[in-house]
Every structure is written in structure tokens, then in C-alpha cells.
């Protein structure tokens, strides 16, 4: 019992043990030496080499290699900004912009206008 995670089927437990706890990465990129723990991660990575972008925005026709990137992009059209700064009124559509912003509230401000 390494992590306590439970499964309804033994085959799922065996897969979990092999991939998570042994670090096995049985899926190798056809174009480089990188290996991956899941087939999906490998397929997504190979799109870097092939240039395949199967996910298309229905509003502006931009295309993306990953569905998660399309979902982030869709926030441009919806105006959704789920990352709200707890120190001011600003909000952001993506986590990286939010994190970059929050630094301003914690940085030491050594230069004062006099």
C-alpha cells in the first residue's frame, strides 16, 4: 500500500503501480528520444514535431495542438477571468498571468519617489 489510492479493477491498480510508482514510461516519441507514462501524453507531445493542431476555435478559427490550450483561448471570447487577486480588484483569465501579477503585492519596494 504505497499511496492509498483504490481502484475498482485490478488491471487499473496494476497500471497505476507500473506507471506511477515505478516511473515506467513505455511510450516513446516517434521523432525524438522522449518517453511518456501515457499514450495520450506521447501523442500530444508528437504534435510538436508534426505540427498537427486538431483543436479549432469556433469564433476566430485559431487552431491548437492541445484541447487545454483551446479552452484557455476561449476565455478571450467569453471574457471569463476566474483568477481574482485577493489584494486588489484585478482578475485574470490564466493562472500564469495571475501569479505574475501577485508578485507586485509582495515585492520589496525600495525606490520611493521623493
Which pLDDT belongs to residue 110? Answer: 73
pLDDT surpasses 60 at 1? no
Residue 42 to residue 20: CA distance in whole angstroms: 16
Which pLDDT belongs to residue 73? Answer: 96
Residue of 61, 53, 18 whose CA lies nearest to 37: 18
Q: What does pTM read for this prediction? A: 0.66
Q: Is 75 exposed, middle or buried (0-12, 13-18, 19+ CB in 10 A)?
A: middle
Task: Render the burial of 19-35: b for 16+ CB within 10 Å, e for the rest.
Answer: eeeeeeeebebeeeeee
Instruction: Band the pLDDT of 48: cuts 50, 70, 90.
Output: very high
pLDDT surpasses 80 at 111? no
Amino acid at each position: 500500500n504505497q499511496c492509498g489510492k483504490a481502484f475498482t479493477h485490478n488491471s487499473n491498480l496494476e497500471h497505476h503501480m507500473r506507471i506511477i510508482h515505478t516511473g515506467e514510461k513505455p511510450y516513446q516519441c516517434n521523432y525524438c528520444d522522449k518517453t511518456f507514462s501515457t499514450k495520450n501524453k506521447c501523442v500530444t507531445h508528437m504534435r510538436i514535431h508534426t505540427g498537427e493542431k486538431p483543436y479549432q476555435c469556433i469564433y476566430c478559427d485559431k487552431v491548437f495542438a492541445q484541447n487545454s490550450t483551446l479552452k484557455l483561448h476561449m476565455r478571450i471570447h467569453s471574457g471569463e477571468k476566474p483568477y481574482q487577486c485577493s489584494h486588489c480588484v484585478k482578475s485574470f483569465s490564466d493562472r500564469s498571468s495571475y501569479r505574475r501579477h501577485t508578485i507586485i503585492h509582495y515585492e520589496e519596494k525600495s525606490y520611493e519617489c521623493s
